[in-house]
Chain A
Amino acid sequence: NAGVTQTPKFQVLKTGQSMTLQCAQDMNHNSMYWYRQDPGMGLRLIYYSASEGTTDKGEVPNGYNVSRLNKREFSLRLESAAPSQTSVYFCASMPRQGFNGYTFGSGTRLTVV
């Protein structure tokens, strides 16, 4: 099925460990986004890539880095995980033309102990 695929679905890290969350879309969308979801806070934008070759910070970028590997893939890296990064992470994509909202992945549930 066409859509946004996130891996892994679940992950437990120890404080200080690093990991990369993967996101890929097969809809030929130009823009991709990483959000985190925390109870009572909605979704907050971490980083985004408006088009292939560009990335920009969102509302809560500290402790994260991203790579837009190609048009399909947009990865999120935690270099040194902290308990405050325990969250559910969502990747989303959107075509350039029009403003039809996002297509979301199913999320990665990350726990940092």
Chain B
Amino acid sequence: AQSVTQLGSHVSVSEGALVLLRCNYSSSVPPYLFWYVQYPNQGLQLLLKYTTGATLVKGINGFEAEFKKSETSFHLTKPSAHMSDAAEYFCAVSGSGNTGKLIFGQGTTLQVKP
């Protein structure tokens, strides 16, 4: 069965600093991996995804993530944090079969300090 672990429920960075949100997954089949962002009182918005091909994927708002099969990781990074990046971030992996089910991590809240 697939599973996702996000390391750190809260991450705090200063504006302009590197953002690193960690995600490790478990999957018995080649995974599809996703990062979503949720701003307060809103739904989830897709940041980026890895399906096949290039292991470094770029998303919206300057975020990127690298799929590392050997480490079963899909960490999310951004070189320079902005105040508007403060939100909750979710990593997700595709479930088994062809149902389109996604398994989500527990989420990481990013705080950006001025």
Contact = CB atoms under 8 A, between A and B. Distances in A.
B2 to A, nearest CB: 11
Contacts of B46: 100-102
Nearest to A56: B99
A39 B92 CA distance: 16
A45 B90 contact: no
Given A40-B9, A42-B104, A43-B90, A50 B43 contact: no
B51 interface: yes
A74 interface: no
B82 interface: no
B32 A99 contact: yes
B44 A99 contact: no
Interface residues of B, number: 26
Given A43-B90, A99-B32, A106-B43, A50 B106 contact: no
Interface string A99-113: 111101111000000
B93 to A, nearest CB: 11
Contacts of A90: 43-44
A99 B100 contact: yes
Interface string B10-25: 0000000000000000
Contacts of A44: 104
B67 to A, nearest CB: 14
B73 interface: no
A105 B101 CA distance: 16
A105 B42 CA distance: 9
B106 A41 contact: yes
Contacts of A45: 101-103
Contacts of B99: 31, 48, 50, 56
Nearest to B52: A99
Interface in B1-52: 4, 6, 9, 32, 34, 36, 42-46, 49, 51
Contact of B101 (A33, A104, A106): A33
Contacts of A81: none
11 contacts: A31-B100, A42-B6, A42-B107, A43-B44, A45-B101, A45-B102, A50-B98, A100-B46, A101-B36, A106-B42, A107-B42
